Structure 1
Amino acid sequence: MASRSRVPLGLILFSALVAGAGNGISIIAFPWLVLQRNGSAMEASVVAMAATLPLLVATLFAGTAVDYLGRRRVSMLSDLLSALSVAAVPVIALSFGAEAVNVAVLATLAAFGAFFDPAGMTARETMLPEAAAQAGWTLDKANSGYEAVFNLAYIVGPGIGGVLIATIGGINTMWVTAGAFALSMAVIGALRLEGAGVPDRTQLPEQVWAGIVEGLRFVWNLRVLRTLALIDLAVVGLYMPMESVLFPKYFTDRSEPAQLGWVLMALSIGGLVGALGYAVTSRFMSRRVTMIAAVLILGITMTVIAVLPPLPVILAMAAIGGFAYGPIQPIYNYVMQTRAPQHLRGRVVGVMGSLAYAAGPVGLIVAGPLADGAGLQVTFLALSIPMILIGVVALFLPSLRELDRTPG
């Protein structure tokens, strides 16, 4: 029996924290560089969209790359390419002048970096089962820690980015971001873990497209995964507009940018505490009950927010909604990691992730015009009521009972 060690799990979690913080800094730095040039919100939106759209396709291919090339190798390669994409900003500025860092360049580099991010995330996620076993942790506990670290990175990253921009400027901030990705790559380079190296290619289809189709077919044919994928598709599509459109519009109309930051921080902190808390609640609460409660509570908090109550109530509802939804991703991770055979694990994670990324833009396309035409209250209700209905329907789905069955 192999000796227990928490080192591999610690390396994976630290890599996820550092790389996530690098992404969090980029979220602030790229739009800032655009706005610093000419103050155009439209051009800043173009760069933000360029960093989002590649995720739709990249996540699907990321899982295939993990299965075909190996988890450790793909994680390091992803961090390397992400580092190069952000380091290119100061390199171009030094070589051709700051004016050369225009919107087209920034959009291209943002898209380049975003395309490779899912590969690193997928690779680290698929190494958790072996790392948890070596540490003597349950898989629920490992997934809880991983998602908590991920949430923490996106809380501290933008904050660090803001401080760096204020002290050393937007372009030089990209050097620090590149350093974060390089550190993540070095940490994974030191990782030694069973199943993280070169995969057994005899279990994989020769054609990459056949491999992708195999992953899609596996998710669709396994009832519990198919149900979770459809629920996630609907929930993300309903939730994302609240964070990305409705709250910004509400507080922009009131000229209260600081309050917007407080609400988004309340959501993130709630998610962080909820993910951490799942390591404890998983001992006495079933995964099915946890998941259904999360969807229902999120729908209820969104409904309360729809009446546009005073700020303290909005903050409380945001924190409660984030807390309730914090355990969802650890539950999804557990199901994917325990149901998918090792040679398919990357592709299953990739398929599930790509569906979630696809849902976000659909919800945004609907919510924006609805908010302009019918108002924020109507739009909040149009999102919250279906969320509650999904939670009610989930109560009667027999496939969700498989969440608490030990896989054969």
Structure 2
Amino acid sequence: MWCLLGATGLSVMGNSIVAMALPWLILQRTGSATIAGVVGSAAVLPGLLSAMFGSALIDRLGRKLVSNGADVLSALAVAAVPIMDVLVGIDAALMALLVAIGATFDGPGMAARESLRPDVAKHSGIPLVKINAWGETVDSLGAFGGPAVAGVLIGIMGPANTLWLTVGMFLLAVLLVWFGVPRVPPRPQAREESYLRSVRTGLVFVLRDPVLRSVTLMSVIAMIFLSPIDPVFFPAYLQGEQVSPALAGLVLAAFPVGTVIGSLAYGVVAEKLSMRITLSAGLLLAGVGLALFVLTPPVYGMIALAVAVGIAAGPLNPIMATGLQQRTPDHLRGRVIGTVVALSGALTPVGLLAAGPVVDGFGAPFGFVVIGAGCALTALYCFFSKGIRQIDSEPQPSPGLPSATV
């Protein structure tokens, strides 16, 4: 268990550091924030496509192999940046290409590590819901610690040398999974159909299973409202309130801190709680907390409010991961997880495009009322959805597909 958690943390933190070091390197070379933004956006579409199409490899080749292969290929893609910079001098087009290549491996790698959690739970005897709570906690710690570590390393070593350190992190994650995680061979039926048909099988399974279909739709609705928080609403909100960059960083860091607390606390009591009720309550409380930012509290009140929102949201990802894993047959697990990840983020650009006009027309504080209303809408859907009502029950066979047991 600890090896999988360690590998997850290293891989997530490595990606977080890369996400900060690459734009920094571009700014050093070009001085253009626009080019840095274009390079950063090069990761979006490959990430979504690979989550759906690349994750079918997990069921065909095996979870450990895809997890390790993704980290090795990510390490090579990252290493190519400083190498090419020395050899030919890197420009925006080449950087965008390398970023897109690296992002292609992130989706299958993440899905493979999540697919390994039920295997680790079975091998260790630890309840799956606790493994998921700890796994999501590690994800939050990696995402939270990555930018802070990147800032220190870039200041000491420079962005190019910082990238070399992330190469080592990816390779260490490979070693932890290789030697510390049990291997489960892929089921024969995963190789009996063509590759595109296997991708379609994962999509059809998600759409036919009432719980998976409802959880995916819930995620789509939530992501439309939540995706603009970091890139749009909070920068405009904090600048409008004339919050210093240092304090603004503390406000933004408070969310993942609260998420870690919420995930860990949920892991302790998870088996005593209804997943459906906890999911609905978490969404509603997070929405109320976000809407309260319209009151523009003093900065330390913002930090406290951000921690509270993170705590309320902490159980959400562990619950969705557990419901997904419990509903999915072993030989479909990889492609189903990848499909849900891809579909959940499919309409994220809608939220990002709509956020700008909301801020320009009504102000950033009003944006948080919109986000809070979106969370409340998602909570209502979650509470009344016929599909999510079944998340706590034993899975039933989906028509025309194997029984959804793990």
TM-score (normalised: structure 2): 0.93
1:337 alignment partner AA: Q
Change (3 A) 1:154 1:296: same
Residue 178 of structure 2 corresponds to 189
Per-residue displacement from partner, 1:142-198 (whole Å, max 9, x unpaired)?
101111111111122211111111111111111101111111112222245242x3x
Greater mean deviation of Cα atoms: 398-407 or 158-167:
398-407
Residue 399 of structure 2 corresponds to none
Greater mean deviation of Cα atoms: 353-362 or 232-241:
353-362
Residue 139 of structure 1 corresponds to 128
Per-residue displacement from partner, 1:19-46 (whole Å, max 9, x unpaired)?
1111111111011112222432211111
Residue 79 of structure 1 corresponds to 71
Change (3 A) 1:378 1:192: closer
Distance 1:271 1:52 in 2: 24
Percent identity of the aligned residues?
A: 37
**Cα deviation, residue 360, structure 1:** 2.3
Distance 2:236 2:243 in 1: 10
Residue 45 of structure 1 corresponds to 37
2:77 alignment partner AA: S
1:51 alignment partner AA: A
Greater mean deviation of Cα atoms: 279-288 or 80-89:
279-288
Greater mean deviation of Cα atoms: 257-266 or 131-140:
257-266
Instruction: List 4+ stretches of structure 1 deviating above 6 A.
Output: none
Residue 201 of structure 2 corresponds to 214
2:63 alignment partner AA: R
Alpha carbons 1:63, 1:346 under 8 Å: kept: yes
Count of residue pairs brought into register by the alignment: 395
Change (3 A) 1:192 1:142: closer
Distance 2:83 2:380 in 1: 54
1:152 alignment partner AA: L
Distance 1:15 1:201 in 2: 27
Greater mean deviation of Cα atoms: 384-393 or 262-271:
384-393
Alignment of 1:200-349 (within 5 A): 200-253=187-240, 254=242, 256-349=244-337
Distance 1:355 1:120 in 2: 17
The one of 351, 369, 383 aligned to 1:395: 383
The one of 69, 85, 95 aligned to 2:87: 95
Residue 114 of structure 2 corresponds to 125
Distance 2:2 2:243 in 1: 43
Greater mean deviation of Cα atoms: 370-379 or 124-133:
370-379
1:297 alignment partner AA: L
Per-residue displacement from partner, 1:259-291 (whole Å, max 9, x unpaired)?
221111101111111111111131322111110
Alpha carbons 2:233, 2:359 under 8 Å: kept: yes
The one of 163, 170, 174 aligned to 2:163: 174
Distance 2:347 2:294 in 1: 22
**Cα deviation, residue 228, structure 1:** 0.6
Per-residue displacement from partner, 1:209-248 (whole Å, max 9, x unpaired)?
1111111111111111111111111111111111221101
The one of 12, 16, 36 aligned to 2:8: 16
Which stretches in structure 2 are left out of the alignment for 5+ residues?
A: 397-406
Residue 151 of structure 2 corresponds to 162
Residue 352 of structure 1 corresponds to 340
Which stretches in structure 1 are left out of the alignment for 5+ residues?
A: 1-8
Distance 1:173 1:105 in 2: 19
Alpha carbons 2:293, 2:302 under 8 Å: kept: yes
Per-residue displacement from partner, 1:28-85 (whole Å, max 9, x unpaired)?
1011112222432211111111122321211112321111111111111101110011
Alpha carbons 1:204, 1:343 under 8 Å: kept: no
SS in 2 for 1:145: helix
